[in-house]
């Protein structure tokens, strides 16, 4: 999971990351993704009713503009629960970056992750922006992915390419996890870049489908952050025939889903304190929603997660979670198959004898180390 020198950055994208002093540790905390030409964007945000200030700015810009050129991300401070002042700060940082890059104000998107409830140190960000812009390069993507990390123990990047009507199209994405469990530093963020030419409706559709089968199928602790964001920029630099429907959209969607799923699995693998990577397959459900709800119910059961940590093959804990799921699943419908718990990878299969739908969810175990990390953080 080390930096991949062969990461394929889509055409027209550059990035950079550096330390501007938001993190007390002095580690990198400010990242920039830049696209020329300007790109279409599509995004999925947290469904929490309390959202961070940068998301308010992002949503405004996504409404008022059609194309975007820059994403500014800081770690070390979530700029959440900071009131109107927080929104002003987020807007000011976006405006400042737009001036520096000489691009339209609305073409800048912003994001933050870190401590909730503290004002952003805007001066530090402003001061660092000229250097951040000056250092933009293809290789800078590795610096960017490091600068968005909080409690992550490794940087998360994926790239993939596909052919669309004979033209090579590239998708590259970076993400940070994994500490929804550590909301001080919380948030799952993912930024996807592609040089595909794709219509806005097709991009929206592909992202929705990809997120639904990847980031919406993982759970570390069942806690939703105020900053969760998955954002894709598509700048058409590949020069392919515009993807809008049919086979080309299908292929693009599949590639996007694969990128998201790879990153989602990395987020689970890097969950705080985790010692196990758990795959939960719920099958023979009435419909996909039933399968997903039950799989997430098991994934969020503290007692199941603790059993896996203890390598305790306790299928009663699975049965209890299924019974409590709110679907009227009876004992005689339920088949539980729990793989060996000795390995780092654990597989649980739950069959419901109710239909043909299925869903796979990924989660981690719950460990004393997880509690230690979160209890001691301040």
**Closer CB to a copy of itself, residue 154 or residue 315?**
315
H-only helix segments in the chain: 53-64, 83-101, 122-134, 140-147, 200-212, 246-269, 288-299, 302-309, 315-323, 368-376
Strands 68-77 and 30-45: what pairing? antiparallel
Least distance to a copy of itself, CB of residue 124, Å: 21
Picking from 208, 212, 207, 206, the residue whose alpha carbon sits closest to that of residue 244 is 206
Helix ranges (DSSP H) in 12-82? 53-64
Q: How far apart are CB 95 and a copy of itself at their closest, in Å?
A: 22
Is the N-terminal amide bond of 37 cis, ω within 30° of 0? Answer: yes
Report the alpha-carbon distance of residue 12 to residue 26 in Å, rounded: 30
Radius of gyration of the chain, Cα coordinates, nearest whole angstrom:
21
Site for a copy of itself, rule CB under 8 A: 46-51, 78, 80-81, 83, 115-117, 180-184, 186, 221-226, 301-303, 306-307, 309-310, 312, 314-317, 319-325, 327-332, 334, 366-368, 370-372, 374-378
Rounded to the nearest whole angstrom, what is the least distance from the CB of residue 56 to a copy of itself in the complex?
10
Name, in order, each residue with C-beta under 8 angstroms of 209's C-beta and a sequence gap of 6 or more.
253, 256, 257
Least distance to a copy of itself from the beta carbon of 216, Å? 14
Q: Which residues are catalytic?
A: 187
Distance CA 49, CA 46 (A): 8
Distance CA 70, CA 103 (A): 9
Question: Between residues 253 and 301, which has the closer beta carbon with respect to a copy of itself?
Answer: 301
Give the nearer residue to a copy of itself in terms of CB position, either 116 or 198. Answer: 116
Smaller CB distance to a copy of itself: residue 116 or 125?
116
Nearer to a copy of itself, 139 or 224 (CB): 224
Rounded to an integer, what distance in angstroms lies between the CA atom of residue 189 and that of residue 44? Answer: 10
Task: Print burial letters for 209-237: b (CB count within 10 Å at least 16), e (below 16).
Answer: ebbebbbbbbbbbeebbbbbbbbbbbbbb
User: Would you say 168 or 223 has its CB closer to a copy of itself?
Assistant: 223
Smallest separation (angstroms) from a copy of itself to the CB of 220: 9
Minimum Å gap between C-beta 227 and a copy of itself is: 9
């Amino acid at each position: 999971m080390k930096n991949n020198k062969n990461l394929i950055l889509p055409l027209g994208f550059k990035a950079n990351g550096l330390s501007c002093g938001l993190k007390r540790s002095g580690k990198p905390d400010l990242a920039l993704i830049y696209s020329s030409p300007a790109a279409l964007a599509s995004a999925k945000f947290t469904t929490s009713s309390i959202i961070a200030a940068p998301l308010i700015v992002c949503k405004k810009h996504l409404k008022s503009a059609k194309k975007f050129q820059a994403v500014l991300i800081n770690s070390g401070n979530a700029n959440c629960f900071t009131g109107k002042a927080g929104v002003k700060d987020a807007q000011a940082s976006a405006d400042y970056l737009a001036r520096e890059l000489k691009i339209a104000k609305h073409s800048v998107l912003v994001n933050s992750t870190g401590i909730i409830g503290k004002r952003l140190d805007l001066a530090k960000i402003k001061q660092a922006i000229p250097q951040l812009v000056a250092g933009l390069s293809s290789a800078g993507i590795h610096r960017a992915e490091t600068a968005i990390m909080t409690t992550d123990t490794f940087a998360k990047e994926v790239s993939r390419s596909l052919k669309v009507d004979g033209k090579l199209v590239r998708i590259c994405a970076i993400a940070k996890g994994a500490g929804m469990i550590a909301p001080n530093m919380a948030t799952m963020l993912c930024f996807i870049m592609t040089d595909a030419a794709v219509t806005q409706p097709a991009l929206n559709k592909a992202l929705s489908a990809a997120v639904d089968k990847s980031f919406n199928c993982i759970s570390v602790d069942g806690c939703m952050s105020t900053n969760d964001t998955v954002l894709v920029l598509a700048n058409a630099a590949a020069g392919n025939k515009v993807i809008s429907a049919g086979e080309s959209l299908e292929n693009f969607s599949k590639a996007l889903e694969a990128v998201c799923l790879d990153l989602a699995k990395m987020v689970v693998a890097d969950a705080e304190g985790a010692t196990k990577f758990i795959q939960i397959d719920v099958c023979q459900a009435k419909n996909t929603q039933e399968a997903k709800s039950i799989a997430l119910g098991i994934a969020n059961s503290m007692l199941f997660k603790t059993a896996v940590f203890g390598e305790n093959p306790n299928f009663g804990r699975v049965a209890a979670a299924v019974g409590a799921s709110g679907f009227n699943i009876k004992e005689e419908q339920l088949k539980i198959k729990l793989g060996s718990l000795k390995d780092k990878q654990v597989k649980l299969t739950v069959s419901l004898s109710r239909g043909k739908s299925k869903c796979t969810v990924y989660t981690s175990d719950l460990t004393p180390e997880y509690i230690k990390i979160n209890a001691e953080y301040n």
